[in-house]
């Protein structure tokens, strides 16, 4: 049984609008730079340890990927790292962009 909860993009938006959750993007860096949920943090193997060690574990965490598949494994990982409440967004960024395309940010390539 999974320790995280899968939620749709509408529930994810409600969580994000509350302003009290980490938003974690686990897609590739290029995809993140091309567009991501506003205030999302890009996390990959190079910075995941730093993110986990510096995060408040009692703050909810929403994880997303391209289609909502890979984020399930990532959500389980975050749960195993001690985060109390972890969500995986069904449909991923693809569904988010379809529903809330005006709430997408881009960033500079570094």
Question: 43-56 burial by CB neighbour count: b if 16+ within 10 A, else e?
Answer: beeeebeebeeebe
Q: Give the 3-state secondary structure of residue 86.
A: strand
Of 68, 16, 76, 18, nearest in space to 41 by CA: 16
65 classed as catalytic: yes
Q: Which two tokens stand for residue 60?
A: 């909810």
Q: Which of 37, 65, 75, 86 is catalytic?
A: 65
Of 60, 56, 106, nearest in space to 87 by CA: 60
> Active-site residue numbers?
65
């Amino acid at each position: 049984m999974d320790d995280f909860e899968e939620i749709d993009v509408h529930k994810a938006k409600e969580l994000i609008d509350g302003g009290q959750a980490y938003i974690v993007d686990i897609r590739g860096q290029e995809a993140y730079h091309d567009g991501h949920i506003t205030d999302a943090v890009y996390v990959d193997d190079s910075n995941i340890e730093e993110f986990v060690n510096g995060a408040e574990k009692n703050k909810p965490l929403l994880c997303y990927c391209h289609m909502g598949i890979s984020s399930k494994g990532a959500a389980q990982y975050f749960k195993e790292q001690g985060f109390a409440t972890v969500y995986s967004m069904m449909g991923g960024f693809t569904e988010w962009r379809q529903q809330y395309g005006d709430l997408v940010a881009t960033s500079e390539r570094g």
